A and B are shown apart, each in its own frame.
Chain A
């Protein structure tokens, strides 16, 4: 990667080189084809109703979205465990942990709040 030589100054044995990968034409095209497939399939599933069960469809399109996010991370963002000396991956893992806590926590708490705070007709009748 001759374009990168400018950044490869070595200070006291540790280099501050830009370590984000650049990808290749093949990599970008692979990522593009994969993401087109992973986008077209969920749209097709929902638009045609190919799977009768709505819950199963939802599960499948969520799984496909997860796979597509990973594909974009690898082929477009060039994430590798070693980019930026591992710090990118560490920041990403931390973000995912916070993200899971925020999303699952909000949905869980607010779902139960709704269920418990809205009296059903049964409860209303039992009320004094």
Chain B
């Protein structure tokens, strides 16, 4: 904070010679939030691409021929449940309960895996029917958008396992708490992106 601090000689100083120390990790949460916002812009681009190309079927299958809404509903349930269980992990962390934190993280990871498995099953099913990303612009943009979200969930699960190992080895030290809070933001953020995906891609696709 290089405000105009007056020195003894009454000369204005516009910078600080010595940077005062900041608490370790004091700016992590804001920095991670700004990362999430930039990630949000990546998804905005992909949503825009899908919005523009989503109607170009190239005489191929349309959303109505491909999507199974009950499967998507199940998938959405998995992600929603994983959000609340991550919340429970954070509550356990706040009460310094290592075992409960780990257990809730494991449950969250399992829900995440269930989500991914259902999504991969859906992709496999579509590709087996000939609805590959190369088939039409609609399918290219669909696979890019939903696939990017799936990749984010995958990296979230890898991160979760990493943190579970960290917590098992070092306990709920301040650094681990900070990391768990970052992952919490990341995980809930992915759920928010999924709201956009199931509304704009799946539900609106069925209405077309």
- Residues of chain A at the chain B interface (Cβ within 8 Å): 1, 3, 6-7, 9, 11-12, 14, 16-20, 22-25, 28-29, 31-32, 35-36, 39, 42-43, 46-47, 54, 57-58, 61-62, 64-65, 68-69, 72-73, 76-77, 84, 87-88, 91-92, 94-95, 98-99, 102-103, 106-107, 110
Contact = CB atoms under 8 A, between A and B. Distances in A.
B22 A99 contact: no
Interface of B: 1, 20-23, 25-30, 33-34, 37, 40-41, 44-45, 47-49, 51-52, 69-70, 72-73, 76-77, 80, 83-84, 87-88, 90-91, 93-94, 96, 174, 177-178, 181, 185, 188-189, 191-192, 195-196, 198-200, 203-204, 206-207
A61 B54 CA distance: 18
B80 A22 contact: no
Contacts of A64: 199
Contacts of B52: 106-107, 110
B44 A28 contact: no
Contacts of B29: 18-20, 84
Given A42-B203, A58-B207, A107-B52, A65 B84 contact: no
B27 to A, nearest CB: 7
Given A32-B84, A35-B80, A73-B192, A18 B37 contact: no
A28 B192 contact: no
A102 B45 contact: yes
A108 B196 CA distance: 19
A77 B196 contact: no
- Tell me what chain B mostly uses at the interface: helix, strand, loop, or mixed: helix
Contacts of B73: 43, 47
A57 B21 CA distance: 55
B189 A77 contact: yes
Contact of B195 (A29, A72, A92): A72
Contacts of B80: 32, 35-36, 39
B80 to A, nearest CB: 6
Contact of B37 (A69, A73, A94): A94
Given A3-B177, A72-B195, A106 B48 contact: yes
12 contacts: A7-B25, A7-B26, A11-B20, A11-B21, A11-B23, A28-B88, A32-B80, A77-B192, A91-B34, A92-B37, A98-B44, A107-B48
A18 B181 contact: yes
Nearest to A20: B29
